Amino acid sequence: MEEVNQFPVVERRRNVATSSDREKGEVAVFQELGKALTSSLQLDQVLRTIMEKIDEFLRPDNWSLLLLDEEKQELYFELAVGKASQALRDVRIKMGQGIAGWVAQHGETVVVHDTSKDTRFFSKVDEKTKTETQSIVAVPVRFRDTCLGVIELINCIGPGGFDPRDLKLLEALSDFAAIALENARHVKKIHDLTIRDDCTTLYNARHMSFILETEIYRSQRYNYEFSLVFIDLDHFKLVNDTHGHLVGSRLLAEIGNALKAHCRLIDFAFRYGGDEFVLLLPQTSKENAINVARRLHKLIRESVWLEKEGLKIRLTPSLGVASYPADSRTKEGLLHLADEAMYLVKNTNRDSVAAANIGILPNTATAESAG
């Protein structure tokens, strides 16, 4: 009996020591995260630190960071740690669906001691991962009034419940995650502003120079071919003069989207300036690039542009093609030859395709329409 009475005293002393150690540990965590946030804009580094600390302090069976896809209003698993992590890669949760979806929608923390008694629990995730979720702690990852995602801990609640101090630590970690995510968004926006054209959202001429240098290096190393296609819109000034520059900008954006839609995943589309566009086609011979140029020529001249706005604008393009290494092995040489081929068309009859060291090609689109 005496031993039983003494046990709480011993336990309390152990808890005091543990609490003191834990305080020091938490301070160290926040210092580490603070350094990571201020010394690096690498999102992965900060999230990895948060992941390690959640595992170290809270010991859940599984835990995950779900991020919000704003366009689709769905949560997806950005990070998942534990036995079922691989199975979660393709899982998406609608806003408001399940406990994570509820937390994202309402922006409130939820502690569920027994999932079988909570009507919000979404059992299909367990079915997919072949796990048994008994308890959940979910906290929103919020920046100001915007919910960016949810941190969810599975089966970390002990017999005594979930310690309020643990919850405060988890909420603090979610704040760090939110700051890291928001920083990453700003860095991406700044990066996009430096490499993309505002009007069309295609890459700009500055970025084209960098990509072209990279592609020359890659093609030299692996003995690849690649090609450039220059596109100039014929008499585009008439569009601005007739409809105004705002309509001209919307037309450029629509044509830019069409060009991007007709690119392969490995291709690059650029707005070179004014009404000129450039496509960089990796691993593409001159012959194949000419075929691409013909298709784009037909696309532009046969499409009715800004039809939804009731304008029904028609245009013809002048295109020039040059290839590596067939025409040149230098960036300057390729740009000059593709531009020269395009201007050869522009300074004659327009509305056609020319290739470096070949000249103007038979205008198949005109011949077909005439026939």
* Tens-digit pLDDT profile for residues 85-129: 788 888 899 999 999 999 999 999 999 999 999 999 988 888 888
Residue 349 CB partners (closer than 8 Å, separation 6+): none
Residues 251 and 127 in one domain: no
**Closest alpha carbon to 54 in 46, 45, 63:** 63
- Number of domains present in the structure of the chain: 2
Q: Which domain holds residue 26?
A: 2-194
Which of 194, 218, 236 finishes a domain? Answer: 194
Q: Are residues 147 and 232 in the same domain?
A: no
- Residue 155 per-residue DSSP state: S
Residues 152 and 283 in one domain: no
Q: Which pLDDT does position 39 carry in this prediction?
A: 52
Best mean pLDDT range from 31-35, 75-79, 186-190, 327-331: 327-331
Same structural domain for residues 272 and 176?
no
| Number of other CB atoms surrounding residue 111 within 10 Å | 18
| Same-domain pairing of 220 and 260 | yes
The answer to whether position 199 is within a domain reads no
Residue 28, pLDDT above cutoff 90: no
Residue 326 has phi, psi (to 5 degrees) of: -55, -40
- Quick one: 321 and 179 in the same domain? no
Q: Residue 11 above 60 pLDDT?
A: no
pLDDT band at residue 238 using 50, 70 and 90 as cut-offs = very high
pTM: 0.64
List of E strands, 10-157: 62-69, 74-81, 92-94, 110-112, 136-143, 146-154
For the chain, what percent of residues have pLDDT higher than 70? 87
Please check whether residue 200 lies inside any domain of the structure: no
Token pair listed for 118: 């909570």
Q: What is the pLDDT of residues 39-75, one digit of tens each?
A: 555 677 777 777 777 777 788 888 889 999 999 999 9
Strand partners, 229: 279, 321
Distance CA 43, CA 40 (A): 8
Which of these, 204, 201, 331, 214, lies nearest to 272 by C-alpha position? 204
Burial annotation 164-194 (CB, 10 A radius, 16+ → b, else e): eebeebbebbbebbbbbbebbeeeeeeeeee
- Do residue 218 and residue 179 come from a single domain? no
Residues 179 and 267 in one domain: no
What's the token pair of residue 95?
């806003």
Domain boundary among 194, 226, 254: 194
CATH for 334 = 3.30.70.270
The residue among 279, 285, 277 whose CA lies nearest residue 219 is 285
For residues 40 and 129, state if they share a domain: yes
